[in-house]
Each structure stands twice: as structure tokens, then as C-alpha cells.
Structure 1
């Protein structure tokens, strides 16, 4: 039986990514994987991301050693596709693995048997210090772990995320009260953290510069009365434990997801000179990282989730964005983005579209303001909602209709 061999390449996890470090293989040669299975851990300026397979088949060769930094598109491994796999039906927004016959168009990586890889020197610290990537060091600080006391299982003893997780579990079961991180370690890691933040900021800036240069934005705003929604949330949460309560951001996500199928020109991608309408609703949610920077993971099929499930999904991606690992699909297939800056005390935010998406919604601070109702002035809970959209795909009339429909939906939260 003949199998078609494809190249697994360094994925592009967003318009701001240029290269990434392969820190860990989650598969071995000969392993069978299904589409969507995690096969490797890639570290970028956004953190450690679980890379997924875009096809079903058998890993035939691993071509790159862990702790190697390579550009987007570089070949990492080969996969022999199952005979029944239809490579023409991929619905991924991320380009799938390329057939081996197309390798002349891709940057090559040396085989694992004779590695000649470029190793990121930022993973190596001064003599006598453990070898670990910036993300591992950042997570060690968050978990108050001393890298000097951890045995790494990576190449040349490099400390991987799995080593950190084991050490963290061991620390939690230990009753010792001695702090795990020394002042010296904190000082050394602060410098690495600043470099990582600077790299992330530069990447974000490059993506936004491209967006403002190439996308003809138009902007709309609308003040929404959320008095009924706030009261409804209060009633729903009255008998719930704190960890099970519904929060306003989940209600906003659910409302947007419910409406987007009726406004397809706001949900999709502008690529190669034309608009591709998304068949699913994957809402990217801007997550602020504690140490600076942003991540925008997607809640998949948000229009099919209940409000409770939306709240669970939001808690999950928020936690994994800050302390755990996201999957590559969560960073590549958002069909629209939402940013909530209300917790920072700002009344409104006009977002910059994240290409190749065609719209971004902004939600400001929930505040009390006077509104006229039935010829009387009432004090209402008010939220300013903004829309930034791509004029190549939609216009202000469509955008205004969407914001009006969203306002009506949010004033009837019991229907969500």
C-alpha cells in the first residue's frame, strides 16, 4: 500500500510570528496520530504552544532536535498519511503539512540523526546555570521553583515544561516553608523576562502596523443598557458558588456568537484578495498576561455552546494562557476577536483588526450613566461597545445593524 508523505512544518501561530523554538516532541517515529492530536511543543514569544497535526497518519521521521529555533515554514518531521485520508478536505485556516515533493520551496532542517540545528542561545544561561527556555523560566518564577534543583530531561539536560510540572507537583506535596527561588535567580530571570516582553511587544507592533497599513478600517460605537443583564446575572449567581458564577464577559461572548451567523461579513478572513466566509464561529478573546503582553486564544464553536459552557471555556483558556499550554488551533483559527478593556477603567476601545480577520469588537467599562426612557431620565448600567471592521468586506450600514442587534440581544439575557 502506497502512503503519501507530507512535511510537518513550523506553523505560523499568528501574523506576528516569524520563528519558533521546538522545545519538545510529544510523539516518536512510528507513532500513529489523528488530525488534531498534539505532536510537539513550540515556544514563541506568546509562550509554549501545543502544535497539532493537520492530518491522520504515521510519523515517519523526526527531522529536528528539541531546543532548535527555526523560521515559520521550516520542515520539522514527515508524516505518512493514511490511505483513506482526503488531503483536499482540510478545513483548517492554518496551511496543512506540505507534500514532500514540494520541499524545494521550503527551508530545510537537518535530520535528527545528524543535527546541524541552530540552538537558541537564550535557552542557555551563564556557566553553572541550568539550560531552560524563557517560558520555562517565567513559569518557574510563577510557581516559585528553583531551576537549580530540577533535573532536565531535554537535550544536554535542558529543563522542559514537563520537568517543571513534575517539580511543581512535588513542591505542592511538600510542607517545607523555605522559599524555592533565591534572590539571585530572580534577578537573572528578570532580565530574560524583559527581553521576552520586548520581543512580544515588537511582534505585536509589527502585526498591528501591517493591519493599519493594509486594512481600510471603519469604526462604530454604541452605548448599550445592561441594567437588565446585570440584574439577570445577579439572580443567576445568587445560589452559585463563586467558582461557578456567570460573569459578564461570558454573556458578551455568547451574545456575539449567537448573532454572528446572521452577519457573515464580520466573521471570516480576507486573504489573497477575496473574503472567505467562516463556516464556524471561533471567537478570539484578548487575554492580558501578568508579566506583560497579550494572547488571543479562540473559543471554538462558540455559537454552539450554552452560557454555562461559554463561562467554562473562558476560564479554561484564560488559565492556560497565563499558566499552561494552549493548542496551536486556538491561536490560528479565530474568526473574529473581542477585547474587553473595561477592567482597566476605560469607557471604550477601538481595536485594530488582527489579520486575516475582518472585524474586532471592543467592550469598555461598565458604568452608570443617565438615559432617557419614556420621557424620564433613569440611571442605567451602560457599556460602550465598539466595532472596527474591514471596509473591503462590509460597510457602516451592516456594522450598525449588528451593533443594534447586539444591544437588543443583551437586553434580553434570558434568551441566551
Structure 2
């Protein structure tokens, strides 16, 4: 029997609240399926399953606060098992008892018996939706998250005294920005306490890289045009293949990672940051990385990410963007062992072969964990990164 446990979504996560099961006993699951929705400091997270089989038993009741590592479900790895009849999700001893149910706002009809999942009720309340007007598609007519989101997307059921159009905002950023900041603060405090940092910096000429990108963008539609950050991510991923000791985690000792998953720092509009992962960045083209960014950044700002996008990063990139600071020194996000920082791209004086000119330059920093690597390894990485950016067509 496979034990499905509450995953860790980063060093700043101690627990999460199970909002809704999206699978029931008897359902078959495969790798990548969403099995549940969990509320954390980083918003509502879709939790993926990474095994194949049939749901045998759900061990935790909805609306329960669950510590990381707690057994949540049992999965039978046998694929040929006949689906079982769905049974109610009931917490059994010694399962953590659910938190007290929050009162439903007065605009939700209470005198009509409405069967809906806790998450459906939550989203309905936030969007002023009368549940009694929705036809449920779940078991025995229960209203699900998809039913509510479908109503929102189609522009139905708008509350007269509220906004004229419904925007799907599962959790408002301003309501959790302080929580996010606290979570990041805890992780960064741990980093400063436990990780012996060393710092290196290198100026890199981006003239060839930007010229290559400009020519490529000429033949691309507007919505698919490249930004410099996509090229920088690809160059970092390619460099890590040559300096693998930076693509690792430290957990009592150094553990090198074969897959290169780039964590990319995204700033939220109302404060705080979140760091989703771009999986297998070394195997993606620059165009695919740009497409990935166009998908993941809006979802990150809406706080609607998958669990793997928050837990799988093997190294982190932070980029200031245009018009910002010239240099950023990052703090390593444990258990990773490195973070690469890109300052703002700006025109600077540049000498080559005895001649002085003006080039688009970027100052790149590397913060490394001295337990996992040293200045020589870090310097080799920055030199390799520079070489890749001088030959962008090879990326």
C-alpha cells in the first residue's frame, strides 16, 4: 500500500489545511493527477500525486489542519482493482480534528438545503454567489469548485450590490501578504542561521544575446516574443550541467540533483514573493521557457500553483528587471545550495581589445553554500554562464 502524505512546499511550510478532496475511494489516479486542494501561507495549492493506483482510503477530513509528513490517504498500487463504492470522508482516530467551521456570509442562502464542498462554499462566498442557483455536478448533485468557477467564468449569478463582473480570485493577495512575508522571513532567518554563504559577482556583456533575441522576435507573434529573462534562465540551466555541485540540496550532506528545476522569484502586487519552479529547464528551448513563464507568473500572482511547482526547485534565480538596482545579492533558499541574481540591464562603458565602447551589461551575483561548493566552483559557473550568453544561438 502506498502512503500519500502531506507534502512539504518549502522550508517555510510546517502545515497546511486540507480544503477539499478531489478524488474519492475507488478512483484511479496516475502521476500528476490533482488529488486535493490545500490552503497554505502561499494560497490555495493543488496537491499532485506521484504514484499510480486506486484510492483505498482517505485518512483526513476536509477543513483539517495537517502537519507536513502526515498520512493523508492510502493508495493501492494494483491497477486492476474494481472501483469501490464512494464512502464519506470521515476522520478516524488519531486523525487531527477539523478546525471550527466558519460562518457562511449572510448573502449565501441558508434556508435551502445545499450540498457543496467546503472549497466551493469558500469561493462562492468570496464571489457573492447564491449556491441555491447552481446545479451541482458532483456526487449526488453536490456543488464542486468546478461548478463555481464555471459560473464565474460565464459571468452568471452576479450579486446586485457587488461588482458588476466576477473575477476569479480564490484568495486576495492583500489578505495574505503579511502571512507570506512571515513565511519568507522564517526561511531566510533559517538560511542566515544555518548556511555559510559566500558571494561572487561578474559583469556580463549582453550585446550578442540581445541582438540574437531581437532578430528572433522579428518573426514571432507578439504574444510569443522573448524577454531577456527567458534567455538568462536557459543559460543558467545549461551552465548547471557543467557545474552540477550548484544544482543540489544540503540535507545533512550534499545531494546532487539530476533534474534542473529553476525556481524563479515572482513579486506579488501587494507585497511578498513566491518562487515557482520551471521544471527541466535544461531540456526546454528558450521559446518553451518563455511560454512556461507566461503561464506560471499569472498563476503565481493569483496564488494558484501546483504543489510540484513550489517544492521541486533545485536552484533559484532572482532578477531585478529593467530600471531597478544594478546588483542583487540573494539569500539561499534552504535546502538549496545556490541562488543567482541578475541586476538591471544597462548601458555601460566596456573595453575590448584596447577600444572603449558602450555595451548592454548585466551584473550577475552568485550566493553559494560553502558546505556544498567553494569560490572556485562558483567562479567556474559564472565564467560558463558568460560563455553561454556570448553564444546565444547555441542555447
TM tier relative to shorter chain: 0.7 to 0.9
Please say if 1:24 is aligned against 2:41: no
- Residues 310 and 373 (structure 1 numbering): CA distance in 2 closer, same or farther, change over 3 Å? same
Residue of structure 1 aligned with 2:317, choices 332, 338, 347: 338
Contact 2:16 2:40 in 1 (8 A): yes
Contact 2:206 2:390 (C-alpha < 8 Å) held by counterparts: yes
2:364 counterpart SS class: strand
Question: Which of 49, 52, 75 in structure 1 is aligned with 2:48?
Answer: 52
For residue 86 of structure 2, what is the aligned residue in structure 1? none
1:146–1:181 Cα contact (<8 Å) kept: no
2:253 matched to 1:274? yes
2:204 pairs with 1:224: yes
Question: 1:342–1:348: 8 Å Cα contact kept in structure 2?
Answer: no
User: Residue 299 of structure 2: which of 278, 296, 320 is its match?
Assistant: 320
CA RMSD in angstroms, aligned pairs only: 3.6
Closer/same/farther in 2, CA of residues 10 and 60 from structure 1, 3 Å limit: same
Does the Cα contact within 8 Å between 2:64 and 2:96 map onto a contact in 1?
A: no
Does the 8 Å contact 1:110/1:117 carry over to 2? no
Which piece of structure 1 moves more, 288-297 or 373-382? 288-297
More helix by share: 1
The separation in 2 between residues aligned to 1:21 and 1:263, in whole angstroms, is: 39
> Are the structure 2 counterparts of residues 393 and 116 from structure 1 closer, same or farther at C-alpha, using a change threshold of 3 Å?
closer
- Would the aligned equivalents of 1:27 and 1:39 in 2 still touch at CA under 8 Å? yes
Q: 1:202 to 1:124 in 2, by over 3 A?
A: farther
1:181 aligns with 2:152: no
CA change 1:374–1:159 in 2 (3 A) is farther
Structure 2 distance, partners of 1:136, 1:253, is 40
CA deviation map 1:270-302 (0-9, x unaligned): 11x210110111111111122322221111111
- What is the total number of aligned residue pairs between the two structures? 374
8 A Cα contact 1:350 1:386, kept in partner: yes
Give the TM-score normalised by structure 1: 0.79
Structure-2-length-normalised TM-score: 0.83
**Relative to structure 1, is the Cα distance of residues 167 and 179 closer, same or farther in structure 2, using a 3 angstrom cutoff?**
farther
Summarize the Cα distance change of 1:202–1:125 in structure 2 as closer, same or farther, 3 Å threshold: farther
Q: Is the 8 A contact 1:346 1:364 kept in 2?
A: yes
Specify the alignment match of 1:203 in structure 2.
183
Q: Tell me the distance in 1 between the aligned counterparts of 2:19 and 2:35.
A: 12
Contact 2:124 2:130 in 1 (8 A): no
Change (3 A) 1:256 1:114: closer
8 Å Cα contact 1:46/1:294 also seen in 2:
no
Aligned to 2:336, the other structure's residue is in SS state coil
Partner of 2:219: 239
* Cα 1:294–1:160 shift into 2, 3 Å: farther
Question: 2-side partners of 1:177 and 1:67: how far apart?
Answer: 27
Structure 2 residue 237 is matched with structure 1 residue 257: yes
